[in-house]
């Protein structure tokens, strides 16, 4: 029996936000959308962590959502990042995304202010009751400073349009409890955890490395979904090295933007407080991309 959010199964890619001269570069944003459509990606996720959403102004946040929806033009699903540590702001952004035609919204757990579990519940409930597009709870305590406990997420899953959870706690037990005790679709929030989570019932991933190797991530997800474990394991082992060696260099999206530049898909500078990779880290990244087969060796 299909879960509530199964129409978002597969590969979703968390897009970077391209900047030129300090401003959002719509032309480069278009290139990214077209790249993912051509690759066969199922869903785009603009203005999440990878999209440097904390550094965007409110107007820019709305602009990126609108541009991606318009460029996608129904050819690919769009799950807009609309979370905030302010319930009023998250509601405003989610309302905007729904008005602009987004297919769903991704809402990160309220960060910094560390709500109680009841506070988490009331935050998401307020948005779910006011906006009717599907909502995905994004639980990433490593960035938000507090876990949304599985009982709370399962309780949220009883609300009609909360249909998914992006799981980035690293806990297989937490993921398993969510799958056992709710009808939510679970999506991996860590590229390297995609196969382990799919082995217990997750249906896909919201991916960072999908920005550069969407076809490989699709191959992993499809193999896992079809029960072809040997093929899925092969892709997991290959992608794991890229995830570990690239994303381990610095905080996302710092190494990703550097990699995209090396691969001829420059998305511009990072915004402070994010800063570029140093020379030593860039050299390691170069070797990683060469080792994966994305760049020709300079030796």
Give 40-62 pLDDT, tens digit per residue. 999 999 999 999 999 999 999 99
**For strand 43-45 and strand 23-24, is the pairing parallel, antiparallel, or unpaired?**
unpaired
Residue 299: per-residue pLDDT: 61
pLDDT for res 4: 95
User: Whole-angstrom Cα distance, residue 100 to residue 278?
Assistant: 39
Give residue limits of the domains in the chain.
6-226
Which residues, given as ranges, of the chain have pLDDT below 50? none
Joined together, the tokens standing for residue 95 give 């309302």
pLDDT of res. 9 = 98
Please report the pLDDT score of residue 5 as a whole number.
96
- Just list the catalytic residues: 138, 166
Beta strand residue intervals within 158-202, DSSP E:
162-167, 185-188
| pLDDT, tens digit, 9 for 90 and up, residues 191-215 | 999 999 999 999 999 999 999 999 9
Q: Residue 297: what pLDDT?
A: 76
Q: Taking a C-beta distance cutoff of 8 angstroms, is the pair 281, 257 a contact?
A: no
pLDDT of residue 16: 98
SS3 11: strand
Q: Is the pTM of this model over 0.85?
A: yes
CATH class of the domain at 6-226? alpha beta
What gap in Å lies between CA 122 and CA 155, rounded to an integer? 11
In this structure, what are the phi and psi dihedrals at residue 51, rounded to the nearest 5 degrees?
A: -85, 15
List the one residue out of 6, 49, 8, 4 whose CA is nearest residue 162: 4
């Amino acid at each position: 029996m299909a879960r509530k959010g199964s129409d978002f199964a597969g590969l979703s890619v968390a897009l970077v936000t391209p900047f030129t001269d300090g401003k959002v570069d719509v032309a480069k944003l278009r290139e990214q959308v077209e790249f993912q459509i051509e690759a066969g990606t199922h869903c785009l996720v603009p203005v999440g962590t990878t999209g440097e959403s904390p550094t965007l102004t409110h107007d820019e946040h709305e602009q990126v959502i609108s541009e991606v929806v318009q460029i996608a033009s129904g050819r690919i699903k769009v799950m807009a990042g609309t979370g905030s540590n302010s319930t009023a702001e998250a509601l405003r952004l989610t309302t905007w995304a729904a008005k602009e035609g987004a297919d769903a919204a991704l809402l990160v757990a309220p960060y910094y202010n560390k709500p109680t579990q009841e506070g988490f519940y009331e935050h998401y409930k307020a948005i779910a009751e006011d906006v009717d597009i599907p909502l995905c709870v994004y639980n990433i305590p490593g960035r938000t400073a507090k876990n949304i406990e599985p009982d709370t997420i399962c309780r949220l899953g009883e609300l009609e349009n909360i249909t998914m959870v992006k799981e980035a706690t690293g806990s297989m037990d937490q993921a398993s409890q969510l799958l056992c005790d709710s009808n939510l679709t679970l999506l991996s929030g860590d590229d390297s955890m995609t196969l382990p989570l799919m082995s217990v019932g997750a249906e896909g991933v919201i991916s960072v490395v999908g920005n550069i190797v969407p076809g490989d991530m699709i191959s992993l997800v499809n193999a896992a979904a079809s029960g072809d474990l040997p093929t899925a394991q092969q892709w997991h082992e290959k992608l794991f090295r890229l995830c570990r060696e690239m994303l381990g260099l610095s905080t996302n999206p710092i190494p990703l933007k550097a990699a995209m530049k090396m691969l001829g898909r420059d998305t511009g500078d990072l915004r402070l407080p994010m800063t570029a990779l140093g020379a030593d880290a860039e050299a390691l990244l170069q070797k990683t991309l060469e080792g994966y087969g994305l760049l020709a060796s300079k030796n």
